[in-house]
Amino acid sequence: MIRAGRLVAIPTETVYGLAANALDQAACASIFAVKRRPADNPLIVHVEDALQASSLGELGELGRQLASTFWPGPLTLVVKGRRGNATVALRAPAHPVARQLIALSGRPLAAPSANLSGRPSPTTAEHVAAELGTLVPLILDGGACAIGLESTVVDLSGPTPLILRPGAISEEMLASYGVLPATEGAAHAPSPGTRYQHYQPAVPVVVIEDGTGRTAAEVIDEWADALDRAGEVPALIAVGQARERRWQQRCFGSNAELATGLFAAMRELEADATVLLVSAPSAEGIGQAIRDRLRRAAGGAFHRAGEVPNWDLPKGD
């Protein structure tokens, strides 16, 4: 099917992807059509290894080093393209099903997340089927994704190596390679994809951060109560202890477990709730990637525990 220019949804260790032969322009155009993705948001190309990557882009010394350390795995490298594109984003995924499809088809696979543009990424084959259904002729079911958040994107095409999107390969893991967090390279253009609304469930997301004197964990039940009194149906997502049983909730044992389950939790809870209350995780390791996705899901702002919340909720669609 890949060789015939059709689309195949594939499991990867990050999220499910909607894959097509990266060398077939018409096939890639159908990815944009199915996802309703803005035309100026480029796709990541999935390759077997650094050798295949080198046929599509110039990895350079640092790119080869990063690839040999982190591939196959959740790291995407934006490098100078070799086939007419100024730049190309490349990643060798670790999931055995994705790897086999790349190897068997003999093609690099262009694959963004297999969701409608703007929605949370799918982390199971069922999510893909529910959202894209008959628009995708084949979904390969590889079970639930181990990481649950999209890859870290590092730009090696400019003067300074820069993180464009945080992911499981964290800022801390990249620091010794001289790769800078995006905020420190303000002069650099952001990744095209970061301009758009992203990761948004059908109902508003309210994220609570620890404040001075009070923690998010302390206030989340109070806030849920206030929302309930205002006629909303709150549901909770948090790391730590289960909350008051009145609320539908997904509580996770660690940041890594929250990363794995966050998008699935959003998809499950949006069915009955009218607002999702999330307590923001700490920023180290994968916490930074979770906070990035939550910030976009919430439309930009976090609230602080201890401040009086203003329930002027953005309307969901």
87 is a contact residue toward ligand AMP (CB under 6 A): yes
Residue 101 Cα to chain centre, angstroms: 22
Instruction: Please enumerate in sequence order all residues whose Cβ is within 8 A of that of 90, keeping only pairs 6 or more positions apart, or say none.
Output: 44, 45, 46, 47, 53, 56, 57, 59, 76, 77, 78, 79
| Per CB under 6 A, 193 contacts ligand AMP | yes
Nearer to ligand AMP, 164 or 207 (CB): 164
Tokens 């990481």, residue located: 147
Site size for ligand AMP, by CB under 6 A? 17
Cβ distance to ligand AMP smaller for residue 197 or 282? 197
How many Å apart are CA 44 and CA 76, to the nearest integer? 8
- CB-wise, 293 or 303, nearer to ligand AMP? 293
Please report whether residue 158 would count as binding ligand AMP according to CB under 6 A.
Answer: no
In this complex, which beta carbon is closest to Mg ion, that of residue 10 or of residue 59? 10
- Which of 16, 27, 34, 42 is in the footprint of ligand AMP by CB under 6 A? 42
Which range in 173-181, 188-196, 238-246, 267-275 contacts ligand AMP by CB under 6 A? Answer: 188-196
Contacts with Mg ion by CB under 5 A lie at: 113
Could you say which of 13, 48, 150, 171 contacts ligand AMP (CB under 6 A)?
150
Q: Does 88 bind ligand AMP (CB under 6 A)?
A: yes
Q: Is 273 in the site for ligand AMP (CB under 6 A)?
A: no
Residue 127 near ligand AMP by CB under 6 A: no
Give the interface segment with ligand AMP, choosing from 191-199, 209-217, 258-266, 298-306 (CB under 6 A).
Answer: 191-199
Using alpha carbons only, give the angle 140, 70, 195 rounded to the nearest 5 degrees: 70
| Contact between 32 and ligand AMP per CB under 6 A | no
Write out the residues near ligand AMP by the rule CB under 6 A.
41-42, 44, 78, 87-89, 112-113, 150, 153, 164-165, 191-194
